[in-house]
Amino acid sequence: MTDYLDGNAAAGPLSEFFAIDVTTARGRCLHCGRTDALATAQLYPNSHGLLLRCPGCTEILLRLVDTGDTVCLDLHGLSFVELHRD
Amino acid sequence: MGIVSPGFFGRRRQGDPALPPGQYLTESFPVLSAGPTPRIAPEEWEFTITTETGQVHRWSWDEFLALKQDDVTQDIHCVTSWSKLGTSWRGVSLDTLFESVESDCEFTMAHSYGGYTTNVPLDDLLGGKAWIAHEFDGEALEPAHGGPARLLVPHLYFWKSAKWVRGLELLRQDEPGFWESNGYHMYGDPWREERYW
Ligand SMILES: [Zn+2]
C-alpha cells in the first residue's frame, strides 16, 4: 500500500482550476511574497510569449509560449495559486 | 504561433534569397518587450567573460570603446517571423574580446542586465560572426533595442542577440537560457526554421 495516488487522480481538481478564469485566482510571488489576483499582474503580451510579472518586484510569475503544436506553461515564479469558490 | 500573428509585420517577398523560410520583410524595427527596460549608465556598465576556472575578464565602458571597432551590415531574423535586411551596426567583435581568454569549453551563456539569459555555442560567437554592438544606424543603441550594448549574432534568430548584455559565461555543457527553457529551440538557425523544441 503506497501513500500516494496515481497522478491521473489529480485530473478532476486540476480541470476545475483551469476551467475558470485563472486571472481571478490569487497567486504568491516566489521572489517577494506579494499575494494578489493574477489579474493585477503586469502582462507583457508582445514578447516571444506571454509574460505575467509581479506588480511588487517585477519578477516573472508566469510564462506561456504557444508554439502552434504545443503550449508551454511555466509557473515556477508562483509559490502558490489560490482559488476561492463563490 | 497564436500569440504573435505571422504576417503582421510586413510584406512577403517570396523567392528573396536573403529571406529564410517563413519570414516576412519589415522596414521598421519592432520591439518585443519581455519586461521593464533596464537603464544602465555608462559608468555602471561593464562586460565580463567568465571561464570554467572562474577567471573573470572585465571591460569597463571606456575600455570597451578603446578596443578595435567593427562596422558591419547584417540581415536580422526574428523568430516571430519578421526579417530586416541590411542593418548597420558598430561594435566589438567577439574575436577581439576572446583574444586573451583561455578556455576548453564549447558553450556559452549570455547574461543581461535585467536577468535575461540565452545560450550560444562558442563557435557561433567566433570567426567574425558575432559582436557586442553599441551603435545602430550610426546612433548610440537605444535602451529599447538593448543599449548601451547588445550581443549581435545575426546568423541565429534574434532572441539569441541578447539585449543589455553584461557578460558571457563559458560552459562545458549546453544549458537552456530564458526562452530555451520554455519552448524555444536550443540553437535557433533561421535557415532550418529552428523556432521551437
Ligand atoms: Zn514579487
Chain A residues near residue B2 by CB distance under 8 angstroms: 66, 68
Alpha carbon separation from A70 to A65, A73, B109, B174 (Å, rounded)? 8, 10, 26, 23
Residue A35 CA to ligand 1 centre (angstroms):
8
Nearest beta carbon to residue A46 from set B33, B159, B184? B33
Alpha carbon separation from B23 to B10, B20, B138 (Å, rounded)? 10, 6, 26
d(CA A42, CA B103): 41
Q: Is it the case that residue A51 has pLDDT exceeding 90?
A: no
Q: Which residue of B has its CA nearest to A54?
A: B35
Q: Which residue of A has its CA nearest to B4?
A: A46
The residue ranking higher by pLDDT, B2 or A61, is: A61
d(CA A15, CA B94): 50
Residue B150 CA to ligand 1 centre (angstroms):
27
CB B158 within 8 A of CB B77: yes
Are B182 and A49 a contacting pair at CB < 8 A? yes
- Mutate which of A47, A51, A54, A75 to disrupt the B interface (most B C-beta within 10 Å)? A47
Domains, chain B, with CATH or none: 69-192 (3.90.420.10)
pLDDT at B191: 98
Q: Is it the case that residue A20 has pLDDT exceeding 80?
A: no
Work out the average pLDDT over A59-74.
Answer: 87
Residue B160 CA to ligand 1 centre (angstroms):
27
Work out the average pLDDT over A62-70.
Answer: 85
pLDDT at B13: 54
- Residue B112 has, within 13 A of its CA and on its CB side, a CA count of 31
- Mutate which of B1, B3, B37 to disrupt the A interface (most A C-beta within 10 Å)? B3
Work out the average pLDDT over A52-74.
Answer: 88
Pairs across A and B, CB distance < 8 A: 55
Are B2 and A68 a contacting pair at CB < 8 A? yes
pLDDT at A7: 66
pLDDT > 70: what percent of chain A? 80
Give the pTM. 0.88
Query: Which ipTM did the prediction report?
Result: 0.81
Work out the average pLDDT over A29-34.
Answer: 97
Q: Is it the case that residue A22 has pLDDT exceeding 70?
A: yes
Residue B159 CA to ligand 1 centre (angstroms):
25
pLDDT at A66: 83
pLDDT tens series, chain B, 197 aa: 334 444 444 555 556 889 999 999 999 999 988 899 999 999 999 999 999 999 999 999 999 999 999 999 999 999 999 999 999 999 999 999 999 999 999 999 999 999 999 999 999 999 999 999 999 999 999 999 999 999 999 999 999 999 999 999 999 999 999 999 999 999 999 999 999 98
Chain A residues near residue B80 by CB distance under 8 angstroms: 48
